[in-house]
Structure formats: structure tokens, C-alpha cells
Amino acid sequence: MILDNIIRQVSRLSITACLLALFYSCGGNNTSSNVEAKGGEKTGKDKMLETGADLIQDKTPLSTFNTYLDGFHFYNGNLHAQMEAHHYVSQLNNDMYQAIIFDGNGKDAKLMGVEYIITAKLFKTLPEKEKLLWHSHHYEVKSGELIAPGLPEKAEHELMEKIVSTYGKTIHTWHTDQDRTLPMGMPMLMMGFTKEGQLNPAAVADRDKRFNVSKEEKKRNRADIPMPQVDPNANAWEKGKVRQFIITDQVDSAMNKHMMKP
């Protein structure tokens, strides 16, 4: 009985190792961070504490980020300030997703920001001013720019069928594309590309080489995905309505909304 249990455990470990090897060979650990963070090396004590915490503590919220998407963003108001963004996505329900965004997919990846993704159904409920902060995903999907590294083509296609009509609100907090080794400066509202000729082709070629994919081939494979009707208030930058964060000494609305009651 004991021997049988050991064999089963070893078999499970072997399967897990194979799956991990498949993951890393297909869609991960091939893009380094843009910068090396300032600071000294971890001490032996730090590493021991990390190992213990990893074994003992529960990390349920993180376990739900199970989908990996790779695409590109630009700073709202500056189309030429572009960067690759590695999204790790959690689906909250049928109409909403949340994503953690990194500047790479290796152990040295830096947390760049977050993106909230909603369906057209929820987007219609937003106030008109709020819609100006969001971008559509129609071009990212149809052009082959957005990929789901490691997923089989059929599974990726089904995923893109749903994403194509969604909208995203993206905020970057650490601008490693500017070689900042610390998360300095203001958070920035990001946007997505909407037509050919906007995204730097060299950036796409570099990405495609690393992941062994072809943007143009994916574009052809997604030709059967219907092009959605985009809400005119999304991608407001195209109409000159640029919104961006500023630092101010004026009272934030959050102070009134979150004051403790007596």
C-alpha cells in the first residue's frame, strides 16, 4: 500500500514536470524585465522566509490568474511611447476580468500595472465621461497583435472570440520601458492600438520571434471572428479627447466617499 502511494505520487510529479516543461517551452520564461530593480541582493534569511511562506501561506486570489495574454500598450496621448505588456488574467464572471501586468514573463518581471476588462454589455452602463478612459480590443484581436502564449490554436481562437468585443481600462504604475529602476512618477492611463500602421513593427517582430508565432498568420486565422461595433466613446484619444493622471493638492473625491462614520 505504501509503495503504491509512492508510485502514484511520483507519477503525479512526473506529469506535473512534463506540463511545466510544456508551458515554459511554449509560452513563458522567454522575456526578461526591462530593468534591474535598485537594491541589494536578498539575504539568506529573506530566502528562507520566502520559502517558508510559499509552503505555508494561502494565496488563493493569485491562483485565479490562470490566463496569460501578451500584447502592446501606449501612453494615452503619446502613440509613439509603446511597450509590450504581459497580462495574467483572472475571470471574475461572464462579463468582467482583471489582469496583473508585468514587463516580462520570467522571475525578474516587474509589476507594471493592472487592467480591468469588461464586456460591451457592461461598457454600455458606464457614464459617458468614464468611457473616455477605456479602449477597445477589436483591433488587437483581429490584427493578431494579442496572443495567448502556449494555448492551442483552437483554444486561443475561442478566447479571442470573446475578447474581441470587450473594453479595457489600463493603468501603469512602474514605467520600466523608460528604464526606471524604481516605480517613480505618476500612474499613467494606457491605450490600445486601433488600426494598422500604429504599432512599431520591430516590436512585433521581436515578440513573434521569442514566442515562435506570426502576427500575420494569426490575423488570417481570426478572419472569421466578426468585427464588433465599437462604442464611439471608447478610444477617445482618436478624437483628441486625451485623459491622463496628474498629481494635485486638491482633495480627492475618495476622501468624501470613504470617510469613517462616527
Residue with cell 487592467: 115
pLDDT at res. 8: 46
Residue 116 domain-assigned (yes or no): yes
Q: How large a percentage of the chain has pLDDT more than 90? A: 82
pLDDT in tens, 97-137: 999 999 999 999 999 999 999 999 999 999 999 999 999 99
* Domain enclosing residue 211, as ranges: 64-248
DSSP states of 86-137 as a string? EEEEEEEETTEEEEEEES-SSTT--EEEEEEEE-HHHHTTS-HHHHTT-EE-
pLDDT at res. 20: 45
The pLDDT-based confidence of 248 (bands split at 50, 70, 90) is confident
Residue 37 domain-assigned (yes or no): no
Q: For residues 36 and 169, what is the distance between their CA atoms, to the nearest angstrom? A: 27
pTM, rounded to two decimals: 0.86
Residue 18 domain-assigned (yes or no): no
Between the alpha carbon of residue 155 and those of residues 64, 147, 158, 227, the distances in Å are 18, 11, 5, 19
Task: Output the average pLDDT for the chain.
Answer: 89
pLDDT at res. 21: 42
Between the alpha carbon of residue 146 and those of residues 72, 192, 198, 213, 253, the distances in Å are 8, 10, 14, 11, 35
pLDDT in tens, 26-55: 578 899 999 999 999 999 999 999 999 999
pLDDT in tens, 3-26: 344 334 434 444 444 344 444 445
Residue 95 domain-assigned (yes or no): yes
Residue 47 domain-assigned (yes or no): no
Q: How large a percentage of the chain has pLDDT more than 70? A: 86
Q: 12 is written with which cell numbers?
A: 503525479
Residue 5 domain-assigned (yes or no): no
pLDDT in tens, 68-90: 999 999 999 999 999 999 999 99
Residue 157 domain-assigned (yes or no): yes
CB 191 within 8 A of CB 246: no
- Count up the domains in the chain and report the number: 1
Give percent helix, percent strand, percent coil of the chain, each to the nearest 5: 35, 20, 45
Residue 158 domain-assigned (yes or no): yes
pLDDT at res. 2: 39
